[in-house]
């Protein structure tokens, strides 16, 4: 049987731009009329997404599917590793919890048994598409792990993929990293790689010419393109390296009613799904600050407790850091929001009878009338619904629709005097409604399990309007259309990559020709 054409994007290391290059290629080729899908055999990330099947995959693959204009599928990322410490990870296989393994146990003994599952997921995707864009992980030349690697060149052989090696010049040493990566590969492995791309270039490209020619001569492979650094690209980052770049600078003293709303997001050691807040960071009327100390978070109008992979440990960390006291005081004078694990922390206690996070009971902040019991099973669902509360932060609402996705371990019980936040319907469950979240009696503290809730423009605008009014601030001069901005950014990414590499040449690597079907008007492909 003829294999579906496949192109694999490898990197000289982590965070060199593989995920964004894959997303760009998915957008370029789907805009040209090809049925194209992303695939990553194994991902390691605390950012995840729920698929329409109610299963969990890495956020990067959901983002790449969005770029391709298709629903995310669990087969796009059959194995997801969610670190629970420096030495262990929760292993998600086809969207469900498989086990908790130490790094040594997983890489030395257990990952081999997942190879048939990975292969089957790939074959399911390949049968549905005309082109697969695979993403590698880290570097294919990690000689300490290469014989147990199920995501890089071994997967390329399974797929029959031709490979491109990406290096990040913004980090420095790009020629050495490209050369060194290829030098550490066996000749048969190097034969799978057809060329290299230099990513994130700033400056005069003519200054690279001699270096590119010298590298091409040394490695016997062509440079397939030099992709410029894209300033202020507001698209998902895969891992927590990206949030380290959001500076925590002091808020300037200002009493004007037109000033920015001050939002402190608590930067837990095990923060997860931090892409929840990308739309807030992009809003022109908000000053968002990621905080790791009590001093940094003090003085905020709104404090957000985000999701956490290790909710109990992060709750203890918050107590030890003195942030808990700041949050409790905030409930008297400001606004508080908890998302997923952050909401669980706002309740009275977290019970862990099965030892999911070490066992026992941990007293929580006591700001919401709820109590959470950790369970072995994980809830992963896309969700739509409507707000139950008539007011948000004490301010009337004109729109009540909410949308997002649940990814959580634990069931939350409503105690006496509880006020649920929303009535929701989970994907695939047309009849049954459930309650989500909780609000405090004074209306200034709210929690929800819904990730992605701020990505919905109508809700976010209502939220900001209510928050500003509750803090004595004037309405925002302007608000962001996040959906349109995101679409524009996909096009900017794809257009930049298409202008730096030759997409037709890339298709030629996998024996495909540029489709004759006209591209959608206005897309990057239609401009070529």
pLDDT digits (tens, 9 = 90+) for 141-195: 999 888 888 999 999 999 999 999 999 999 899 999 999 999 999 999 999 999 9
Quickly state the pLDDT bin for 306 (edges 50, 70, 90). Answer: very high
pLDDT at 27: 98
Catalytic residues: 340, 451
DSSP state of 451: B
pLDDT of residue 456 exceeding 70, the answer is: yes
Report phi then psi at 472, rounded to 5: 75, 25
Euclidean distance between CA atoms 344 and 335, whole angstroms: 17
Quickly state the pLDDT bin for 390 (edges 50, 70, 90). Answer: confident
Indicate the pTM of the whole model.
0.89
pLDDT digits (tens, 9 = 90+) for 115-153: 999 999 999 999 999 999 999 999 999 998 888 889 999
User: What would the mean pLDDT of 507-525 be, rounded to a whole number?
Assistant: 74
Closest CA to 223 of 266, 185, 167: 167
pLDDT of residue 407 exceeding 90, the answer is: yes
pLDDT of residue 528 exceeding 50, the answer is: no
pLDDT at 512: 95
pLDDT at 519: 53
Would strands 131-135 and 6-11 be described as parallel, antiparallel, or unpaired?
Answer: parallel
Question: CB count, 10 Å around CB of 188?
Answer: 9
* Cβ(125)–Cβ(37) below 8 Å: yes
User: What would the mean pLDDT of 306-321 be, rounded to a whole number?
Assistant: 94
User: What would the mean pLDDT of 448-455 be, rounded to a whole number?
Assistant: 96
User: What would the mean pLDDT of 39-62 be, rounded to a whole number?
Assistant: 92
Return the H-helix or E-strand segment holding 405.
Answer: strand 401-414
Quickly state the pLDDT bin for 240 (edges 50, 70, 90). Answer: very low
pLDDT of residue 430 exceeding 80, the answer is: no
Report phi then psi at 236, rounded to 5: -55, 140
pLDDT at 87: 82
DSSP state string for 422-443: EEEEETT-SS--EEE-EE-TTS
User: Between residues 47 and 118, which one has the greater pLDDT?
Assistant: 118
User: What would the mean pLDDT of 34-61 be, rounded to a whole number?
Assistant: 93
Task: Quote helix, strand, coil % in the chain, to nearest 5.
Answer: 35, 30, 35
Quickly state the pLDDT bin for 30 (edges 50, 70, 90). Answer: very high
Burial class (CB in 10 A: 0-12, 13-18, 19+), 302: buried
- Token output for 41: 């055999």
pLDDT of residue 247 exceeding 60, the answer is: no
User: What would the mean pLDDT of 282-310 be, rounded to a whole number?
Assistant: 93
pLDDT at 136: 96
User: What would the mean pLDDT of 403-411 be, rounded to a whole number?
Assistant: 93
- Cα dihedral angle (266, 452, 36, 510), rounded to 10 degrees? 0
pLDDT at 316: 94
User: Between residues 429 and 248, which one has the greater pLDDT?
Assistant: 429
pLDDT of residue 449 exceeding 60, the answer is: yes
User: Between residues 430 and 112, which one has the greater pLDDT?
Assistant: 112
DSSP state string for 95-136: TEEEEEEEHHHIIIIIGGGGHHHHHHHHHHHHHH-SEEEEE-
pLDDT at 248: 54
pLDDT at 360: 87
Summary mean pLDDT of the chain? 91
Euclidean distance between CA atoms 129 and 127, whole angstroms: 6
- For the chain, domains (ranges, CATH) are 6-235+486-527 (3.40.50.300), 259-476 (3.40.50.880)
User: What would the mean pLDDT of 7-34 be, rounded to a whole number?
Assistant: 97
User: What would the mean pLDDT of 420-449 be, rounded to a whole number?
Assistant: 89
pLDDT at 399: 75
pLDDT at 523: 53
pLDDT digits (tens, 9 = 90+) for 192-233: 999 999 999 998 989 999 999 999 999 999 999 999 999 989
pLDDT of residue 336 exceeding 50, the answer is: yes
pLDDT at 517: 59
- Token output for 196: 């290299």
DSSP state of 55: -
pLDDT at 47: 87
């Amino acid at each position: 049987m003829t294999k579906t054409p496949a192109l694999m994007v490898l990197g000289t290391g982590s965070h060199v731009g593989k995920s964004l290059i894959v997303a760009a290629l998915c957008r370029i080729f789907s805009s040209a009329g090809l049925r194209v899908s992303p695939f990553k055999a194994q991902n390691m990330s605390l950012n995840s997404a729920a698929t329409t099947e109610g299963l969990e995959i890495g956020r990067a693959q959901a983002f790449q599917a969005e770029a391709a204009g298709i629903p995310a599928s669990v087969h796009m990322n059959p194995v997801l590793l969610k670190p629970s410490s420096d030495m262990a990870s929760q292993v998600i296989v086809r969207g469900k919890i498989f086990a908790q393994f130490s790094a040594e146990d997983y890489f030395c003994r257990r990952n081999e048994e997942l190879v048939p599952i990975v292969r089957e997921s790939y074959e399911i995707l390949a049968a549905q598409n005309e082109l697969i864009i695979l993403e590698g992980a880290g570097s294919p030349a990690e000689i300490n792990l290469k014989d147990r690697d199920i995501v890089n060149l071994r997967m390329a052989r399974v797929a029959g993929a031709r490979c491109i090696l990406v290096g990040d010049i913004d980090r420095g040493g790009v020629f050495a990293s490209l050369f060194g990566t290829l030098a550490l590969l066996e000749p048969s492995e190097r034969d799978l790689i057809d060329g290299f791309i230099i990513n994130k270039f700033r400056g005069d490209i003519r200054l690279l010419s001699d270096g590119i020619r010298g590298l091409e001569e040394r490695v016997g492979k062509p440079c397939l393109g030099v992709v410029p650094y894209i300033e202020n690209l507001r698209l998902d980052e895969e891992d927590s390296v990206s949030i380290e770049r959001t500076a925590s600078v002091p808020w300037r003293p200002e009493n004007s009613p037109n000033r920015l709303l001050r939002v402190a997001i608590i930067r837990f050691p095990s923060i997860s799904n931090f892409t929840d807040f990308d739309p807030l960071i992009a809003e022109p009327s908000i000053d968002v600050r990621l905080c790791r100390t009590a001093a940094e978070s003090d003085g905020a109008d709104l404090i957000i407790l985000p999701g956490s992979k290790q909710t109990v440990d992060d709750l203890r960390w918050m107590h030890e850091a003195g942030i808990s006291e700041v949050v409790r005081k905030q409930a008297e004078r400001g606004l508080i929001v908890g998302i997923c694990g952050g909401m669980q922390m706002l309740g009275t206690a977290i019970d862990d009878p099965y030892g999911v996070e070490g066992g026992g009971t941990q007293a929580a902040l006591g700001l919401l009338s709820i109590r959470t019991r950790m369970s072995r099973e994980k809830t992963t669902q896309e969700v739509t619904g409507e707000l139950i509360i008539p007011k948000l932060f004490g301010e009337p609402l004109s729109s009540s629709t909410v949308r997002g996705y649940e990814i959580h371990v634990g069931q939350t019980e409503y105690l006496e005097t509880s006020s649920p936040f929303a009535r929701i319907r989970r994907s695939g469950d047309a009849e049954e409604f459930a309650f989500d979240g909780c609000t405090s009696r004074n209306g200034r503290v709210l929690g929800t399990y819904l990730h992605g809730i701020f990505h919905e423009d109508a809700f976010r605008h209502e939220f900001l309007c209510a928050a500003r009014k509750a803090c004595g601030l004037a309405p925002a001069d302007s608000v962001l259309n996040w959906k349109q901005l995101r679409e524009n950014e996909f096009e900017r990414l794809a257009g930049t990559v298409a202008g730096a590499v030759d997409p037709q040449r890339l298709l030629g690597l996998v024996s495909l020709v540029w489709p004759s079907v006209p591209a959608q008007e206005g897309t990057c492909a239609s401009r070529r």
